[in-house]
Amino acid sequence: MPSLGVIGAGIRADLVAQQEGFQTFPYREHPVHVLHDSKTGQLLAILLGEIDDREIGYSSLMAFRTAATSGVGFRYLPRKDAKTVGLFGSAGQAANQLLALKCERPITRVKIYSRNPENRRKFAEKYGPLFNLEITPVSSPREAVKGVDVIACATNTNSVLFDGDWLEQGQHVTGIIGSNVALVKAGFLRSRRREIDDRTAVRADVIVANLRESILSEEQGDLFEPLEKKLIQLEKIHELGELATKTFPGRTGDEQITYHKNNNGLGCADLAIAMRAYELARQKRRGTTIDLPTPGMQ
Kindly report, residue by residue over 172-182, the tens digit of the pLDDT: 999 999 888 87
CB 149 within 8 A of CB 84: yes
CB 73 within 8 A of CB 262: yes
Please give the span between the terminal C-alpha atoms of the chain, in angstroms, as a whole number: 30
CB 40 within 8 A of CB 19: no
pLDDT category at 260 given cuts 50, 70, 90 is very high
Top-confidence range, 211-215, 269-273, 276-280: 211-215
Rounded distance, CA 36 to CA 111, Å? 43
CB 67 within 8 A of CB 93: yes
Rounded distance, CA 212 to CA 245, Å? 16
pTM of the full structure: 0.85
Model confidence at 112: pLDDT above 70: yes
52-101 residue pLDDT tens: 666 666 667 777 889 999 999 999 999 999 999 999 999 989 999 999 99
149-194 residue pLDDT tens: 999 999 988 899 999 999 999 999 999 998 888 777 888 777 888 9
Task: Report the DSSP beta bridge partners of residue 51.
Answer: 59
β 32-37/43-48 pair status: antiparallel
Q: What is the DSSP letter of 81?
A: T
pLDDT at 266: 76
Higher pLDDT, 17 or 147: 147
By percentage, how much of the chain surpasses pLDDT 70?
91
16-43 residue pLDDT tens: 676 656 666 676 677 788 989 989 888 9
Q: What is the DSSP letter of 128?
A: H
Neighbours of 170 (CB within 10 A): 17
Higher pLDDT, 203 or 34: 203
Positive/negative CA dihedral, 116, 118, 122, 125 = positive
Contact residues for 68 (Cβ-Cβ < 8 A; gap 6+): 100, 269, 272, 273
Over the chain, what is the mean pLDDT?
89
Rounded distance, CA 252 to CA 265, Å? 27
Model confidence at 139: pLDDT above 90: yes
Max CA distance (Å), the chain: 66
Query: Which domains are seen in the chain, by residue range?
Result: 77-265 (3.40.50.720)
